[in-house]
Amino acid sequence: MGSKSELHILFRRREIKGAVKRLAGEISQDFRNKNPLLLGVLKGSFVFMADLIRLLDFPLEVDFIGLSSYGSGTETSGKIKVVKKLETPVRDRYVLIVKDIVDTGLTTAFLFDYLQKKRPASVKLCALADKPSRREVPVTIDYLGFTVPNKFIVGYGLDADQKYRNLPDICYLEDGT
Ligand code: 5GP
Ligand code: MG
């Protein structure tokens, strides 16, 4: 095995709760009476989605889409494919993408493109975290939780090799050696 990785807390659960509350307020102002479709990008968004929608007190619908980049490795290769389709027709709908983190921006840019072809009324983006230092394509984040440094973030739904999604705090992994 490689070198040991250590977990460090970046944002505690209280801080996350505050950020989600702020986002819910912003989203409520813009989407009340629009019956929006909140579209979670699997798997990283599911914890964030669950907390967010319980703070929205107006009619909305939820769906999920699965995206993955071609090839192996942890780096995004740039070629994205849909591995789980959304089930809801998005034509004329107010779509709000709910994403864990915008890193290179490649999957988000792909998803915007993919959705625009289906002629929604609008597509907006809500991201729990933004890692702007790694951006390769421009992405507009309409509702943002946290800006994070160039570190590998885990917890609150985000994984490292499918682990750590259950951590209630947002942490980063760093070489302990
Ligand atoms: P993109 O590079 O296309 O913006 O992001 C693609 C995906 O890579 C994200 O949705 C997320 O699942 C994963 N990703 C990017 N940065 C991180 C990170 O710091 N931690 C974790 N757990 N996943 C990340
Ligand atoms: Mg992942």
Residues 63-67: contacts with CB under 8 Å, at least 24 apart: 63/37, 63/38, 63/39, 63/87, 63/88, 64/39, 64/40, 65/39, 65/40, 65/41, 65/111, 66/41, 66/42, 67/41, 67/42, 67/107, 67/110, 67/111
Atom of ligand 1 nearest to the CA of 152: 19
Q: What is the pLDDT of residue 23?
A: 99
Dig out the tokens for 4 from the structure. Answer: 């040991």
Q: What is the pLDDT of residue 46?
A: 98
Q: What are the b/e assignments for 155-171, b being 16+ CB within 10 Å?
A: bbbbbbeeebbebebbb
**pLDDT, tens digit (0-9, with 9 covering 90-100), for 141-163:** 999 999 999 999 999 999 999 99
The answer to whether residue 133 scores a pLDDT higher than 70 is yes
Atom of ligand 1 nearest to the CA of 76: 2
Residue 171, domain member (yes or no): no
Active site residue 103: yes
CA dist., res. 166 & res. 159, Å (int): 9
CA dist., res. 23 & res. 116, Å (int): 24
Quote the pTM value.
0.94
Judged by its nearest atom, the ligand closest to the C-alpha of residue 157 is 1
Reported as a pLDDT band with limits 50, 70 and 90, residue 77 is low
CA of 87 to the centre of ligand 2 (A): 22
Q: Residue 143 belongs to a domain with what CATH number?
A: 3.40.50.2020
Quickly tell me which residue has 């002629």 as its tokens. 119
Reported as a pLDDT band with limits 50, 70 and 90, residue 73 is low
Find the domain containing 50 and state its range: 14-151
Residue bearing the bigger pLDDT, 72 or 133: 133
* Residue (of 34, 40, 66) closest to 53 by Cα position: 40
What is the count of structural domains for the chain? 1
The answer to whether residue 166 scores a pLDDT higher than 70 is yes
Residue bearing the bigger pLDDT, 2 or 110: 110
Reported as a pLDDT band with limits 50, 70 and 90, residue 22 is very high
Q: What percent of the chain shows pLDDT beyond 90?
A: 89
Judged by its nearest atom, the ligand closest to the C-alpha of residue 174 is 1
Residue 22, domain member (yes or no): yes
Residue 65, domain member (yes or no): yes
Residue 51, domain member (yes or no): yes
Residue 163, domain member (yes or no): no
CA of 103 to the centre of ligand 1 (A): 5
Q: What is the pLDDT of residue 18?
A: 98
